[in-house]
Amino acid sequence: MISRRQIRIKVMQAIYAWYCTGDEPALTFDINLKEFSDEIRDFERRKGDKGDARLLMELFYDTIENGEAYDQLIQSKAENWELERIALIDRILMQMGISEMTHFEEIPIKVTINEYLEIAKKFSTPKSSKFINGILDSLYIQFKQSDKIQKSGRGLIEETLPKRRPGGFGQGPTNGPRFQGPPRQDGPPRVQQKPTPEDGPKQPPVQRPVNDEKLSPDSGDQSGPKKRPRIRKNDNDNT
């Protein structure tokens, strides 16, 4: 499967070759992109997909035809930087980014910028990605204010997706069921502590019931009538 990042890289390399050789754009396309373009078209016929062949051809020709106008836009945002001092790869990537933002309504702006930042990290200097990000982001704001950008379909994806808070439960992917976390509590959880001897008055000891048969006369129990002691008769007593 051919990814769109591969297409962007191939177009970048072809435009770089055009800058180096000065050949006609059509000749440069045939030498560098014709075989790759046929491969994409064959893949689209088999899979029923559309759009990648158009991206390859129109991105290449539009970037070359409007390169000078795109350079002026880049120069207007590159403060204290002359255009000749900007690396050629960085200029090409920014030109392609401008073309993609303004001519491909189905590609989201965030996708365009992120893709060219990743390509810059691989093919250009370590600081190029930050420089390109600042220029394209500033131009995007300018284009949006002047209604120069017209997006439709998937191109509007960054304006329709809800913003997600980082972390927390229930913040899973937007596709499919969301994970529901445990219920929230107001304040810290309460912990029950065992009472200490100083926490309130002491409770009287529990008295166990006493069997009446074991109760002696001198036990001091006044709860019932006392039994009279049994008097034994003397054998010498005649009365």
Q: In the chain, where are the structural domains located?
A: 1-65, 67-156
pLDDT at 230: 56
What is the C-alpha to C-alpha distance for residues 215 and 225, in angstroms, rounded to an integer?
12
Is the model's pLDDT at 136 over the cut of 90? Answer: yes
Beta-strand ranges (E) seen in the chain are none
pLDDT bin (cut points 50, 70, 90) of residue 1 is confident
Give CA–CA dist 206/208, Å, rounded. 6
Q: According to the model, what pLDDT value does residue 215 have?
A: 42
Q: Specify whether the CB–CB gap between 25 and 67 falls below 8 A.
A: no
Asked whether the CA dihedral 191, 193, 198, 200 is positive or negative, the reply is positive
62: pLDDT strictly greater than 90: yes
CATH topology of domain 67-156: N-utilizing Substance Protein B Homolog; Chain A (1.10.940)
The DSSP line for 34-78 is HHHHHHHHHHHHHHT--SHHHHHHHHHHHHHHTHHHHHHHHHHHS
Of residues 237 and 183, the one with the higher pLDDT is 237
The answer to whether residue 82 scores a pLDDT higher than 90 is: no
Q: What is the pLDDT of residues 140-198, one digit of tens each?
A: 999 988 888 876 665 555 543 334 333 333 333 333 333 233 333 334 444 444 444 44
